Amino acid sequence: KVDAEGHTLENAEFALQSKDGKTLKKSLVTDQKGKLHINELKPGEYQFVETKAPHGYELDDQPIRFTIEKNQQKPLQVTAKNHL
């Protein structure tokens, strides 16, 4: 999670959902480096939805879609930007 200038943002809260919007995990909060980690996802299409913005920032409830491929070896990284 970063702001418009690329500074990392902690305490942004997300839900992990299936591609059709079913919540799989909730209350996922970014750490001091603006990151959160999800391990052992099965291959498929997913999305993150911000449920709580960091203090002083606007909530961005647009889904951030991503795909986990079969036999994927490298971690997938997605970035979300917040605005004041």
Render pLDDT for 4-37 as a digit per residue (tens, 0 to 9): 899 999 999 999 999 999 999 999 999 999 999 9
With 80 as the cut, is the pLDDT of residue 83 above it? no
Quick one: pLDDT band at residue 38, thresholds 50, 70, 90?
A: very high
With 80 as the cut, is the pLDDT of residue 1 above it? yes
- Structural domains of the chain sorted by starting position, each given as residue range(s) with its CATH number in brackets: 2-82 (2.60.40.10)
pLDDT at position 7 is 93
Going by C-alpha positions, the residue among 36, 62, 38 that lies closest to residue 50 is: 62
Question: Are the C-beta atoms of 58 and 81 separated by less than 8 Å?
Answer: no
The beta strands (E) that lie in 19-63 are given as 23-29, 44-52
Query: What is the mean predicted confidence (pLDDT) over 52-67?
Result: 93
